[in-house]
Amino acid sequence: MELRRILLATSNPKKAEEMKRLLESYSFQVEIPKEEIEVQEGGSSFLENAFIKAQAYYEKYRMPTLADDSGLVVYALGGYPGVFSSRFYEHEYGGKEEVKTSKDEANIRKLLRLMEGVKDRRAKFVAFLVLSLGDAGYWSMGECEGIILEEPKGSEGFGYDPIFQPEGMQKSMAQLKPEEKDAISHRGKAIRNLVKIIAGGRGYE
């Protein structure tokens, strides 16, 4: 099928900007929802949550809908924040963190507190995408390995980017230019994998 117009199932403007930039590089026409839908992300995995979001937005807008669920997996914390990444500050694991300036800042502050004195700082960003066509669809994933820094660095990106240093680099994700981040990020890999799958290919990064 000819698939060129895609609706993004997200209310996060920074995530929408990043996904739009990546998809438009493949000549997709990207639509942003006119209104946010309240979606209960009660899934136990990134894939399940992405599916829930994609279906909810498809049911309302009736057009091919792409949803992303992604987060940070820290090995020394048994996989946390994981699916709770966006709201880790209020999760019971490790104690709740007060929001002083933003939720992102509270999440980072909590994670750094839990990582104090921890030698194993390995972590990875994980992204799962679901493209809903109603009664059919596609899914893909991407990962970016790295380590947790001891303090935030950089002002680009969003979420945990300031404290995540990708493998093989000496900069945090938040110190990378958009095109540098897109080339190695979990979301960049997931979108490139999805494009290959839609085209009928089986290549995977």
Q: Known catalytic residues?
A: 69
Query: DSSP labels for 23-44?
Result: HHTTT-EEE--SS--------S
Q: Which residues contact 169 (CB under 8 A, 6 or more apart)?
A: 146, 176, 184
The span from the CA of 124 to the CA of 134, in Å, is 31
Strands 137-148 and 65-74: unpaired
Q: Give the other-Cβ count within 10 Å of 188's Cβ.
A: 22
Q: Rounded to whole angstroms, what are the CA distances from 195 to 10, 27, 53, 150, 199?
A: 19, 11, 20, 36, 6
Q: Which residues contact 117 (CB under 8 A, 6 or more apart)?
A: none
